[in-house]
Amino acid sequence: MSDSVLSRRSAWTRFTLVAVVALALDVITKIAAVAYLTPATPVPLLGDLLRLYLIRNPGAAFSIGEGATWIFTLLAVGVLAFLLIVVVPKLRHGGWAIALGLVVAGITGNLIDRLTRPPGFARGHVIDFLQLPYWPIFNIADMCVVFGAIAIMFLWLIKGIGHDGVLEKDREKAATS
């Protein structure tokens, strides 16, 4: 077992807290971006390092798949359902609770846009408004997915810890015994 194993209740509480706070931050910043930013009019925030630049993205990163928004909607629903039904109920590790909370918040934040924004249900365009040099314009939900995925890769591939807090080497020993 890893040193950050929690009770199911503690893991669920940590996961829920991270997911709710991150999702709220995403929703609030998107509302503010739409209310206060003019499309195609960049606003320097940290000089050339970070600008606010409002776009409505019909696709994924780099606007890939602009005509297939409904596919991204279905994928998001499927991944979200899998995480919430299969993975999260077995969650026992603190780091995994935070990482999965971020991923679920990010998926949910962009899914809300796809379900509720124009041009229509399951085809809505995602609000993106943060711009770094040489990087596609993104939002808080995108950051949550990326940071959560990096944390998951670190915990699983580098540290060898499963979402249930069991070290993968211990799981392998138990399976061969």
Q: Is 3 a catalytic residue?
A: no
Q: Is 170 a catalytic residue?
A: no
Task: Give 78-83's long-range contacts (Cβ < 8 A, gap of 24+).
Answer: 79/107, 80/104, 80/107, 80/108, 80/111, 83/107
Judge residue 106's burial from the number of C-beta atoms within 10 Å of its C-beta, 0-12 exposed, 13-18 middle, 19 or more buried: buried
- The kind and range of the H/E element at 70 are helix 69-82
36 CB contacts (<8 Å, ≥6 apart)?
A: none
Neighbours of 136 (CB within 10 A): 16
3-class DSSP state for residue 62? helix
**Which residue of the set 26, 128, 164, 170 is catalytic?**
128
3-class DSSP state for residue 130? strand
**Which residue of the set 3, 26, 142, 164 is catalytic?**
142
Catalytically active residues are: 128, 142
